Amino acid sequence: MPNFRLLPKHIILVRHGESEGNKDPSVYKTTPDYKISLTEHGRALARLAGSRLRDLISSKGPSQHWRIYFYVSPYERTQSTLREIGKSFSKKRVIGVREGCRIGEQDFGNFQVAERMRITKETRENFGRLFYRFPEGESAADVFVLVSSSLESLWRDIDLNRFNNDPSQDLNLIIISHGLASRVFLMKWFKWSVEQFERLYNPGNCEIRVMELGSGGEYSLAIHHTDEELQEWGLSPEMIEEQKWRIKANKADLNYHSKWYHNSFFDQELDSDADVKEDVVSDNAFEDVKEENSDDDSKDHFLVLGTGYLHNRQLTKNKPADPIADTSASLSFDAAEAMVFKLRCCLIEYVSDTGMFNFFKVISPYPNLAMELDIANEVQRKGNQTEA
C-alpha cells in the first residue's frame, strides 16, 4: 500500500463572492478587472463559505489535527473573499497563504464596453469557449496553460513537503480563484477532453467544489458531491462514472476502461490484426509522394512520429522566411505568436511528464500551416538537443 500521508485530504476550489462586476457589468468600462471588489452580498457569501469549509474539513475523518493552506488569485475580489473565509479559521489551523497570478481571471482585454462584450461573448459561444480568443485578451486555452503550470508548482510543494505538514495531520488545500480557472483546473487534473470542457457550467459565486482523496491515492469529486450535483455542473454520465472509479483507483492506474473516449478514435469492429485492411499506406508510399512533389519551387517539411510520417506539407518559396511572419495567414501575427507559444508550452509539459522524445504528436486546432511547420521545427530542434 503506497504511503499517502503527505497528500492533501482535500483540494477544494472556491469561486470568489459576488463582485461589483457580477452585479453591474458596466463597472468594467471604468474599473480594471483586477480591481473589481466584492459587493456586501458577496462578502456575506464568503463568510458563509468559510463556515461551510470549516464544517466540511473538521467533520471528515476521525482526526481533529487538520491544517489548511490557501492559494489565492491576485484579484481584489478573490483576496477579499479569502479575508472573509479566513474569519472561520484560527491561526493555528492555517499553515500559510500563497498568491498566484497563474490562477487569475481570464484576460478579456482592458476596459470593457458592455455592449461590445455582449456581442463578443455571443461570438464565443458560436466559435467554442475553449479556443475563442478575446480581442486584446486571452482564450480559455491560454488560461489552461497557466493553470497547468500552477498545478505543477502545487505538486512540487506537496512532493517536497513545503507546507511542513506533520503526517499525523490532515492537510487541506483551498484554492480561491475564478470560474474559468476552476473549470480548466478540473479539466487538467482529470484529463478531460475539449468536448467535455465545453459541457461544463461556471460555478456560482462562492460555490465550493471538493476533490477528496480516495483510498488508492486518486482524487474524486464523487466522494463529497452527489450525482445530481455533478450533472448540474455539466458532467456527462460517463464522466460521473469515472469519478466513481477514482474513489478506489490506485494512484498509478490509468482509466483504460473508459471505452467511451477510446472508441471515439478507433474502430472497435477491428478486434484482431486479421481485421485490419491491407490498404494501409506504407513508408514506401510516403517516399513516392515525396519524390513526386519535389521540385525547384517547393520544399517538403515532415513531422515524424516514430518511423512514420505524421504530416507531409509543402511551403512554397514565395512564403516569408519566418513562418510566423506570414501576414496572409488566417491569424494575425500577435495571435499566431501566442498560439505558437502555447503549443511550445504543451511540448515542454509533455517532456516534463515523459522525459523522452521518441514518440510525440502535435495536434493543432488552428488551420495555420506556418504554425505547424514552426512547431515541427521546434520539436525537431529540441529533440536533437536532448539526444546530444
Q: Which residues are catalytic?
A: 16, 105
Report how far residue 10's alpha carbon sits from residue 213's, in angstroms, rounded to the nearest whole number. Answer: 6
Single-letter amino acid code for the residue at 308: G
The C-alpha cell at 18 is 459576488
Report how far residue 131's alpha carbon sits from residue 123's, in angstroms, rounded to the nearest whole number. Answer: 12
Q: Which residues contact 226 (CB under 8 A, 6 or more apart)?
A: none
Report how far residue 133's alpha carbon sits from residue 127's, in angstroms, rounded to the nearest whole number. Answer: 10
Report how far residue 32's alpha carbon sits from residue 120's, in angstroms, rounded to the nearest whole number. Answer: 18
Place of cell 483586477: 34
Is the Cα torsion angle 120, 121, 125, 129 positive or negative in sign?
positive
Place of cell 480594471: 32
Residues 10 and 89: beta-carbon distance below 8 Å: no
